[in-house]
Structure 1
Amino acid sequence: MPRLSLLTLALLAALPLHAQPATDAPATSAPQTAGTPPASDPRHSATTKDAHVKDLAGVVVTASALQDTADSLSKPVEVLSGARLDENRAATLGETVASLPGVQSSNFGPGVGRPIIRGLDGPRVAVLSGGLSSQDVSTVSQDHAPAIEPFLADQIEVLKGPSTLLYGNGAIGGVVNMVDGRIPEYAIENGFSGRAETRFFGGDQGGNTTMARVDGGSDRFALHADAVYRHAPDYDTPDGRQRNSFIDTRSGAVGGSLLGDWGFVGLSASRFKDEYGNPGEPGDPALGERGVYLKMRQDHYEAKGALRDLWGEGNGLRFSFGHTGYTHTEFENDQPGTTFRKNANEGRLQASFGNAQGWQGALGMQASSSTFVAIGEEAFVPTTSTRAYGLFGVTRRSWDGFQLDLGARVDKVKSSPADGDSRSFSPVSLSLAGGWKLNAQWRLTATLDHAERAPVEEELFSNGPHIATLAYEIGNPNLRKEAANQLELGLHYQSERIEGSLSAYDNRFKHFIYLTDTGNTWHWEEGDQDLPVRQWAQADARFRGLEAELIAHLARTDHGDWDLRVFGDRVRATLSQGGGNLPRIPPARLGAQLRWEHDGWRAALGATRTSRQDKVAVNETPTAGFTLVDAHLSRHFDTGALSWELFADGRNLTNQVARVHTSFLKDEVMLPGRSVGFGVRVFF
């Protein structure tokens, strides 16, 4: 594999040797022609020569209804792009975005990491790729990984708080959207561009990851191709080897578009294959038993397009349609066990209207259908078909120093199990948001959301042993739809030397759905052990929290630029009646990072303190706190049309024992110990 990694880099590096050097388009807020993206747009910036050097100001959030820039939205949003994304890329989506305030990751070993936003996860957080759902089964069980490859992202957008207006009832907690450019929307600058990377990890977390991406074409068409390979053996912890924690991933895609002043229309096809161990069931090598592992495959086909300026500048239609075929099999001692399958279709159509001098808005519709099948001993959820339809509208008006956002959505969701009665729900969501520009530096935002969510198949219909979490799960077919009313206040400051934000939110749920320990046990004969019985229940609940981030530009000298980033977050989640704690809520965090940059060099040293979580639910145990120290060093240089970056990353440098409180396996699985990685990136 090292030879293949180096060969990949050599071939891709040789391709653009005769290309013209990339030039940066000037930043502008003026309207662009249909064939040229704004300079701040990720579809443009991902291919420019210096896009990896620094984060981009005013980057476009593609998951917003009106294609806004991040700093103009009234609702809380975070964007990872440029150098910060490069430094945070990890094997899982959750781990990649976990450095953002209010965002953490689930954990079931290194192969599984789903984003947790403000204490909410699973079916409450929508994981999207290019605005369409990932359509995997990662919400069904915590040992199921999202079929998303972070190394292919141009940028990752995190919408915190209810985002049900645009993406339906599965986004009641937030949205994580990966922008990958597999269907090009604009002409490729200079006709050819791309990037490639290979990195190797030694120490306590060995393995390597190699990726490559190429984009090319003319002003009338554009083509795209990408590929990723990852191999990581079992990693070491401060207490020894974490058996059965390996990962092997292969992913790739091809896509293409027809382009013009009228807009674009394109197609893509992708495949994601993943094999990873379940460290909670490591087997016994002494007896010749291999641990439980999962093999996943997802094929995804997508069509996307836009017709621009149909009824005025900036107004038009956008549409997308995706078909997904997903399957994964859980192997026990190399014998196939339970198989999970899902076939899904999803489509979106959205029309924008208005102008910056008056009301702006968007109207749209979304429809999806899926069939979920589980076959085998751990088929604790029956075969279920789900159909969903939604209509939504958002509008905005800006005055001098004030911005008002309004939105509404209504959905129809029907879940039909093969062996039971169907359930239908009609979630309704409403939103009111405002932004006040107090002066040149200060901005105040306020948001009031009402969001509703229909229960999903595992919450309604599960009934059987779920060996991955070592529990017997019982669903409740009489569950009612879940409703959340959230008030959030935000304060933002930006000057030449300081950038900061502070958010406080209070989210009150009616009929909150959660998995509770009953205190009873069920005997698992095959494993000869008693499993706790967990049941899906409903009760009113309250989530309240704080998030803050401060970036101080300490010095700008002839010897380099110095920046300090400090962040923190805390969420408290309790039942409204009796005040009991909800289970598996992330603990509070406080982190700091010092960065230096000079003449192509970039270095960073940071530490994040995760607090002890002792506010636990009934039959749940506390989790000790820990501090992780990380470091980064890189050297950037140009050779003709190529840009190179050599880098080194150090993680958990003090070799701390760290366990993830939100994990069902926290007592059996800990995070990797000290590790150091090295790699090279090339941009062209």
Structure 2
Amino acid sequence: MRDKSCVLLFLFATLIASPADTKAQSAREGGVAPEVEIAGQVLDANTGRPVPGALVEGGELKQETVTDSGGFFLLRGLAPGLHNLRVTHSGYLSQRTEVAVPADALSILLVPLPDLREQVTVTASPWAAERHVIAQTTDSVDMATQRHRSGLSLGEAIKDIPGVRNVSTGEAGGVPMIRGLTNDRVRVLSHGFPHDYYQFSRRHMPNIEPFEASAVEVVRGPASVLYGSQAVGGVVNLIPPPLLKTEGHSPNFGGEFLLGYGANSDALVGRCEINVAHRGLSARAAWTGRSSGDTSTPRGPLANTAYDQQSALGEAGFQFENGIELRGRYQHWQNDLGFFVPATPHFRMGLRNDIGQAEARLPSRWGMWELAANFSTNVRRTFPKGLAGGPAVDLELDGQVYRAALRHPSNDQSPWKGWIQVEHGRQRNETFGPVALLPGFESRTWAAALYEEIRFGHSTMDRWIISFGLRYDDRRLKVPADKLGMRQAIKKSYRPVTGSAGLVYRFTPALSAGLSVARGWRNPSEYELLAGGPHDGVALYEKGNPSLRPETNLNTEASIRWDSARVRALLAGFRYGFGDYIHLRLTGEVADGLPVATFHQREATIQGLEASFSVDVSRHLTLGTTGDRLRSRNEATGARLPFTPPDRAAFSARFHSRSVGEWTSPYAEVRVSCTGPGRIAGLDEPFPLDTPGYALFDFGAGVQKVLRDTVACFDLWIGNIANRAYKDFLDTYKMYAFSPGRNIRVTGRWMF
């Protein structure tokens, strides 16, 4: 740990010691009286507001200047002729433009990267829309928050959003939970495409790198109309950054280097990203690597929880002069990680995921048509006796998923705005090894969806926004007889119809109220139907139930939102009514030395409240609070549902400034999170242990520094400052260990 810390501190010291006064250096190097100057203003491409602190550089001598509080700049010392100007800012895509000087005053537009403060959703509706005009509640976590905490799992990245939790399995494993629902009830998307990762287990985290996203967006509540089965609880969408663009004939180039260290498990993370653009062609390549020792708790380390993870990304897009846009993307992810399971102390898994995506936007006289296709391959290999002992592979699951979709969003100026989609999907699973936990199977799905929105414009109804959607699915499952050892093959088909309706009323531009009603559905997963064997990862012998029926739910949600320049607030209440809710239940039997559990169905309800409030007390201080409360009920037994999260509230104070001397965007943040006691659901709880309430204190700080034509960012995050010993109710290790202790994370980024 000491050696890694020294390396990281040396790199930070090198960056900090770099020359800061770039304008003075340029003047010394030039030594020539100014001949021509260029004046202009840098504006936000979305809002038209000035962008202060943007770096403008150009000319043969690389003259530089920084925009003032009004976004204005003056670049001196240029010779008459053609020059390339480059404008950069940490929150925006860099922009290059050709200028023939002398020239009139310029207006340069910068495209912002998705940000937590940018109140726009691209997941809750088929098109980008402001959040306060969408009936369902949405939130997002921006790129800066992900980076400065250097977290590994997707669940960890979004757990501070009201109504969202992290079902954790050490530092490496984190599964998103939305309103008490997780795994097969929360649809994870990558770039808008469904992401499959054998999500039948509480300890199976999404095989995806959060750093590949510029923002992670969360939609709370059923989204089956847009995303089909497994979206009954909500959606988590990893939104990639836009590809670089360029104007004129000059190429554009940018990227990022990141290095982070976490003291709790002696973890290192490194990332390299390169972006290029020339004329209509844009491309991106990225690599992220993570390595960690065993997770530490206040009572000692958790043995065998070390991991090594790598991911790689390649992406390219091209825009033709006739408006046709093409885009392709390939991702590879792999991880070797261990589990702290006393019964099998050397249990490890080897995971791999490959995803390919292609998109085309085709303009026509009938509007814009969108074609999209993707494939994914997921491989899970288990080693009960570790990588060096026993059989090479005890269980291997190989899954392939293929999907294609045709979308047609309308773009007319009438009050009606619509979208239609037709999609087809295929999935195939193969099982190898002596443990037949899940048999081989094949499934096919056809679906058609319609979504409409009505805005009345200038009329007595101009404050109202109405939306509704409808979807039909035809899903068919086939399990060959020989793979189950049965006389007859298993064939099942599902043909559900789902729908949604939303109503938004805007009292003022800042204040709105929303009401939504949505029906979701979920087919029983192949694991819930067909499982039959020891599941070493959770120390259970699990049996499927081929008689399970499709799970449905009806969600009603009401919310009120305030979003002004200084105050942001949300209050939402919801109720889910489930028909045939599927859950795992302990039978009291033992097989192969493990407790036996099988799947049952019951009527169930989930209801709760969520709230958030943030206010800019001054230009340098922002106070915030969030809270959520959830109640669940098994209507047959009167008990709560398994994994019902306890009540939670959090309070934060953030001190920030535009600059301090030569440093920009400094901040310091203190956060206190209070979690109530967790209560189990009796025999329905797979990890049956009640947990007491607790409070955790966190601290974060960071700063940026302009280095020539680049920006360096330095961030510190300390979680569980007091190193308190506690057990999180949603921690799957709680039966035999405490949750992680203090973790000091240091992250450095260099953006160019």
> Structure 2: how far apart are the matches of 1:424 and 1:631?
52
> Structure 2: how far apart are the matches of 1:454 and 1:320?
24
Change (3 A) 1:176 1:424: same
**Counterpart position of 2:140:** 79
> Structure 1: how far apart are the matches of 2:428 and 2:373?
17
> Structure 1: how far apart are the matches of 2:185 and 2:638?
22
> Structure 2: how far apart are the matches of 1:361 and 1:341?
38
> Structure 1: how far apart are the matches of 2:730 and 2:295?
20
1:427-446 aligned within 5 A: 427-446=496-515
State the shift of 1:46 in Å. Answer: 5.5
State the shift of 1:577 in Å. Answer: 3.0
**Counterpart position of 2:671:** 606
Change (3 A) 1:645 1:484: same
**Counterpart position of 1:503:** 572
State the shift of 1:45 in Å. Answer: 4.1
- Encode CA deviations 1:114-133: one digit per residue, 9 max, x unaligned: 11110011111111100112
> Structure 2: how far apart are the matches of 1:574 and 1:478?
23
**Counterpart position of 2:26:** none
Q: How many residues align?
A: 645
Q: 2:44 aligns with which of 26, 42, 63?
A: 26
Q: 2:419 aligns with which of 362, 367, 389?
A: 362
Q: 1:565 aligns with which of 611, 624, 629?
A: 624
TM-score after normalising by structure 1: 0.88
**Counterpart position of 2:54:** none
**Counterpart position of 1:421:** 490
Q: 2:440 aligns with which of 372, 383, 391?
A: 383
Change (3 A) 1:341 1:255: same
Quick check: 1:579 aligned with 2:648? no
Q: 1:339 aligns with which of 396, 402, 406?
A: 396
Mapped contact 2:177–2:186 kept (Cα < 8 A): yes
Quick check: 1:624 aligned with 2:692? yes
TM-score after normalising by structure 2: 0.81
Change (3 A) 1:129 1:63: farther
**Counterpart position of 1:141:** 201
**Counterpart position of 2:314:** 254
State the shift of 1:444 in Å. Answer: 0.5
Helix, strand or coil at the partner of 1:107: strand
**Counterpart position of 1:205:** 265
**Counterpart position of 2:589:** 521
Q: 1:121 aligns with which of 165, 179, 182?
A: 182
Q: 2:649 aligns with which of 590, 608, 615?
A: 590
> Structure 1: how far apart are the matches of 2:111 and 2:11?
22
Determine what percentage of the aligned residue pairs are the same residue: 22
State the shift of 1:47 in Å. Answer: 5.4
Q: 1:316 aligns with which of 368, 371, 376?
A: 368
Helix, strand or coil at the partner of 1:136: coil
Mapped contact 1:605–1:631 kept (Cα < 8 A): yes
Report the AA paired with residue 214 of structure 1.
I
- Encode CA deviations 1:204-241: one digit per residue, 9 max, x unaligned: 33211111211111231011100101011102101111
> Structure 2: how far apart are the matches of 1:513 and 1:380?
19
> Structure 2: how far apart are the matches of 1:564 and 1:92?
27
Quick check: 1:280 aligned with 2:348? no
- Encode CA deviations 1:27-78: one digit per residue, 9 max, x unaligned: 4469xxxxxxxxxxx9994658996897442345256302223333221111
**Counterpart position of 1:540:** 603
> Structure 1: how far apart are the matches of 2:11 and 2:324?
34
Q: 1:411 aligns with which of 473, 477, 491?
A: 473
Structure 1 gaps, min length 5 = 31-41, 285-290
Helix, strand or coil at the partner of 1:165: helix
Report the AA paired with residue 635 of structure 1.
V
Quick check: 1:299 aligned with 2:354? yes
State the shift of 1:663 in Å. Answer: 4.2
Report the AA paired with residue 496 of structure 2.
P
- Encode CA deviations 1:493-521: one digit per residue, 9 max, x unaligned: 23343210010001101111111122x22
> Structure 1: how far apart are the matches of 2:203 and 2:349?
9
Mapped contact 2:532–2:544 kept (Cα < 8 A): yes
> Structure 2: how far apart are the matches of 1:624 and 1:258?
55
> Structure 2: how far apart are the matches of 1:4 and 1:222?
34
Q: 1:64 aligns with which of 102, 107, 125?
A: 125
> Structure 2: how far apart are the matches of 1:74 and 1:275?
41
**Counterpart position of 1:288:** none
- Encode CA deviations 1:139-189: one digit per residue, 9 max, x unaligned: 1223323111011211111111001111111111111111124x8485599
State the shift of 1:355 in Å. Answer: 3.3
> Structure 2: how far apart are the matches of 1:638 and 1:52?
18
Quick check: 1:470 aligned with 2:539? yes
Mapped contact 1:89–1:96 kept (Cα < 8 A): no
> Structure 2: how far apart are the matches of 1:250 and 1:43?
26
Report the AA paired with residue 589 of structure 2.
T
> Structure 1: how far apart are the matches of 2:162 and 2:576?
17
State the shift of 1:566 in Å. Answer: 0.3
**Counterpart position of 1:330:** 382
Report the AA paired with residue 616 of structure 2.
H
Change (3 A) 1:374 1:7: farther
> Structure 1: how far apart are the matches of 2:289 and 2:643?
33
Report the AA paired with residue 137 of structure 2.
P
Mapped contact 1:53–1:83 kept (Cα < 8 A): no
**Counterpart position of 2:290:** 230
Report the AA paired with residue 735 of structure 2.
D
**Counterpart position of 2:80:** none
> Structure 2: how far apart are the matches of 1:633 and 1:50?
26
Mapped contact 1:615–1:622 kept (Cα < 8 A): yes
**Counterpart position of 1:33:** none
Change (3 A) 1:635 1:581: same
Change (3 A) 1:621 1:410: same
Q: 2:429 aligns with which of 369, 372, 392?
A: 372
> Structure 2: how far apart are the matches of 1:311 and 1:50?
28
Quick check: 1:221 aligned with 2:278? no
> Structure 1: how far apart are the matches of 2:113 and 2:244?
21
Mapped contact 2:285–2:314 kept (Cα < 8 A): yes
**Counterpart position of 2:33:** none
Helix, strand or coil at the partner of 2:169: coil
Helix, strand or coil at the partner of 2:173: coil
Helix, strand or coil at the partner of 1:114: strand
Mapped contact 2:216–2:236 kept (Cα < 8 A): yes
Change (3 A) 1:282 1:90: farther
- Encode CA deviations 1:305-327: one digit per residue, 9 max, x unaligned: 2124x347xx4122221122221
**Counterpart position of 2:77:** none
Helix, strand or coil at the partner of 1:592: strand
Change (3 A) 1:281 1:369: farther
Helix, strand or coil at the partner of 1:123: helix
Change (3 A) 1:70 1:193: farther
**Counterpart position of 1:287:** none
**Counterpart position of 1:102:** 163
Change (3 A) 1:6 1:678: closer
**Counterpart position of 1:34:** none
Helix, strand or coil at the partner of 1:447: strand
> Structure 2: how far apart are the matches of 1:405 and 1:417?
39
